[in-house]
Structure 1
């Protein structure tokens, strides 16, 4: 072999295989070794990108989109879109609010320093603008908190300028068409699930401005010619249920195989009036079939999740037919998740039966059968469906039908004649004997749990008190 010959080309060809087994941070460090590894790493190290409502993150995303190799290999982006801007500032207005409307005042902010989760998060930040010993006080004193609070005000201004100047709209309009391999977008309007540049503050980003962030993403998808496969939006306000946005989703995302929409409740203080307004607004918008018309255009769906966070646990915010057109079939639907819906046994069973050849996973949370029986529905489903998993959770309501006799269930009737069970939390279904029992009965022929001799989870550790004002999914 000639003296100039090297085995490096063979190693370079093998490195894509090695890269696939490395965590992203290790793979990115190898890119610094040589030009060949830098090129290979560019193909494998940036498949998933997380960014926040934060200008430096916007610039980093622009740089990645302009890279000739990286831009082609980004598969998923996760937008932490939660905003520190508060107090119901209208996201549809193009005028800046009065500064006082956008911030927690100093007393409100100081109150947040008593929360153990907030204290732990801020304490773990390398820079939090708090003097030594600040955490010895509960709440933290105004003197100690001053530096941190001033930085919080600057952060709110920073985000407000992005939103009111529509910098996010320009970002997605510019960047998304360059990400030719992009398949998945997640927009989270709630508390961040990834490390955030705003972790150093006692206030956490929330969903008050969520409508505008998702609109910015969908705006960028228009004309991008992306073949997006998955779209997930978490805790978006119900004001987002409008024809313009859902028409844009239907036009820009026809190839979706996975859609997940999680609608937040409004944070009202006058529960006697405002909760009723919130519920009726949501129902009215759903009854216009805006969501239904959009879903009919997404004919390739394999996974569908539409969930609501209701301000009262017995508010059922949508009928099934308001979301899904009766008789409509997705030919490849494998998994369905619904919450806070009101329907009837026949309607829900007909939907399941139409999809029996493909449907493998069902998740229902806080659901109501208006005049019909859950017992009959469950037996119908078991006889007709071949599932890999089923989870029924939360507060489940129904009525007895003719021919049913369940004297042991009388204790579960409320004053309006409804049977009501608390099936436990969807986050920990094994904790509920009824939820776990339904799953075991359905999948493994265990005894049917809604009969005498089984302890009902009419009250569990996860259930709010009957007089609770609200509930979070």
Structure 2
């Protein structure tokens, strides 16, 4: 083809290009779905939610990455959302983690008069809290009574729906239905009493900070927020977390899902009583054998509302204390059977292990619900164990050292909290651990809460007691910081614990701030009340309240303890 006269080949090409449309600019919609999935895999959850709002196509792709962790409660709207997700042809495959919050509206249902009084009490508490932190919310006027009455209608509706779900066991039915469709589910968490929700931590996919938290739970809104927090939420009294954990595990077993991570707390100790014939860990078969992360926080006694103490007289407080102690002894008897130890022994791939018992023996710091040997197999080695957290246990220096040192080749984080060495000393344990573990090569070694022990030096066989604080509550004490430096800094040579700096638990850590602001009225003097509570208590098996009756060969537990 001949070129037009008077034009060079280059001019001809330019003329042809000028006659065409300008090149199209590429957008996200022009990228292959595989690349879009790779992009979403590196976005934070907040950005993925924005990404989904672009259009339906990108919304479907983003949804696959926006639902890796589902947080839900025993509530009609949450169960409806679970069913909607499970019925989608794509979404269920991308759910890897389920987080079940145990908040419930307490039963029985409040009357209108009780609800209004509860609202006013909660408002006063909120104002006082905001005033303490100099927030503008402190000046917010109380809600008009008409608005509170309208809120009560919503409260009644939610409470009635909750009772119907539990009565008809629809929570079990719905969880079996939805979990069976989540074929890639690997992580399960049951959170009662705000466990796993506060303090420093990471998402479930990263274990760099020891005890793990759920990012989704830390600031998560609940379906009860529509009540504007006008009444308090709670778990089932005496059965905290039991129903929720049982329902979730039953669904996991029926679906045949092998979990990688299981976190549960607070869980009432009765959950582990196989004699009751209820579904529990013992019914799971080998579905927990591949766990790499197991975190468990047990409630060994009945939970007590601080306001119950505020309203109680001396006799009622005595009876509540007796109830707590009796139930802790029943928990002790069950733990002695090794029900948790045998469970843990069947998890050879553990990388993160956390076992704790919430301390409710506030009148007596020497009654612990379990020993170290009750909950972990002392002669067993977990070759991949990186993080170990123990709480609310009693043991001996030699037992603890042997178990921890056995894992020194893999262990990177160690946390001890509210621990008692029965006849041995912390002042010997700390230097021993530092030397054997070479802790300066680890990421973290910390001790919080109570550290109770017994002097081992000649002429010094007296009680040891230090309080290290709580970084997630009122903050760690200066002594706890010194202990961390002792473990992590090889230039610190002297053990920070001594007879001179022993410090008992401060009284205000044992009581709710609201109680301190409103002293108990009409009670006998403190020293007489203490004598009544500690001296008048009937401990199972008799004997001194500071003595463990299970160590007494003449002790026989009542026949109904494990019923």
Question: TM-score band, normalised by the shorter chain?
Answer: 0.7 to 0.9
In the other structure, the counterpart of 1:393 is: 448
Cα pair distance change 1:27/1:326, threshold 3 Å: closer
In the other structure, the counterpart of 1:448 is: 495
In the other structure, the counterpart of 1:298 is: 347
Among residues 348, 365, 387, which one is paired with 1:335 in the alignment? Answer: 387
Among residues 330, 338, 352, which one is paired with 1:289 in the alignment? Answer: 338
Cα pair distance change 1:113/1:364, threshold 3 Å: farther
CA distance in 2, matches of 1:231, 1:135: 42
Among residues 164, 167, 171, which one is paired with 1:168 in the alignment? Answer: 171
Among residues 187, 195, 203, which one is paired with 2:221 in the alignment? Answer: 195
Contact 1:250–1:294 under 8 Å retained in 2: no
CA distance in 2, matches of 1:170, 1:207: 20
CA distance in 2, matches of 1:31, 1:423: 46
Please state whether the residue corresponding to 2:456 is helix, strand or coil: coil
Among residues 145, 150, 173, which one is paired with 1:147 in the alignment? Answer: 150
Among residues 412, 422, 429, which one is paired with 2:467 in the alignment? Answer: 422
Cα pair distance change 1:273/1:227, threshold 3 Å: same
CA distance in 2, matches of 1:236, 1:224: 23
CA distance in 1, matches of 2:391, 2:184: 32
In the other structure, the counterpart of 2:415 is: 363
Q: Report whether the alignment pairs 1:216 with 2:256.
A: no
Contact 2:189–2:263 under 8 Å retained in 1: yes
CA distance in 2, matches of 1:24, 1:117: 36
Among residues 260, 267, 270, which one is paired with 2:303 in the alignment? Answer: 267
Q: Report whether the alignment pairs 1:258 with 2:293.
A: yes
In the other structure, the counterpart of 2:480 is: 435
Cα deviation for residue 150 of structure 1 reads 3.6
Cα pair distance change 1:5/1:151, threshold 3 Å: closer
CA distance in 2, matches of 1:464, 1:38: 50
Pair member with larger Rg: 2
Q: Report whether the alignment pairs 1:248 with 2:283.
A: yes
Matches within 5 A, 1:110-189: 110-111=117-118, 113-116=120-123, 119=126, 136=141, 145-189=148-192
In the other structure, the counterpart of 1:204 is: 232
In the other structure, the counterpart of 2:359 is: 310
Cα deviation for residue 117 of structure 1 reads 8.2
Cα deviation for residue 428 of structure 1 reads 6.1
Cα pair distance change 1:22/1:361, threshold 3 Å: closer
CA distance in 2, matches of 1:147, 1:135: 19
CA distance in 1, matches of 2:157, 2:119: 18
In the other structure, the counterpart of 2:402 is: 350
Greater alpha carbon shift after TM alignment, 140-149 vs 378-387: 140-149
Greater alpha carbon shift after TM alignment, 199-208 vs 441-450: 199-208
Among residues 359, 366, 376, which one is paired with 2:428 in the alignment? Answer: 376
Contact 1:396–1:423 under 8 Å retained in 2: yes
Q: Report whether the alignment pairs 1:230 with 2:250.
A: no
Cα pair distance change 1:156/1:377, threshold 3 Å: same
Cα deviation for residue 202 of structure 1 reads 2.5
Please state whether the residue corresponding to 2:36 is helix, strand or coil: helix
- CA deviations on 1:182-223 (whole Å, 9 max, x unpaired) are 221111122575211212243333221521111000100113
In the other structure, the counterpart of 2:93 is: 72
- CA deviations on 1:351-376 (whole Å, 9 max, x unpaired) are 11221211111111111111111111
Greater alpha carbon shift after TM alignment, 318-327 vs 11-20: 11-20
Q: How many residues are aligned here?
A: 430
Contact 2:242–2:267 under 8 Å retained in 1: yes
CA distance in 1, matches of 2:74, 2:118: 25
| TM score, norm. by length of structure 1 | 0.81
CA distance in 2, matches of 1:114, 1:41: 43
Please state whether the residue corresponding to 1:222 is helix, strand or coil: helix
Please state whether the residue corresponding to 2:234 is helix, strand or coil: coil
CA distance in 1, matches of 2:110, 2:330: 28
Q: Aligned-residue CA RMSD in angstroms? A: 3.3
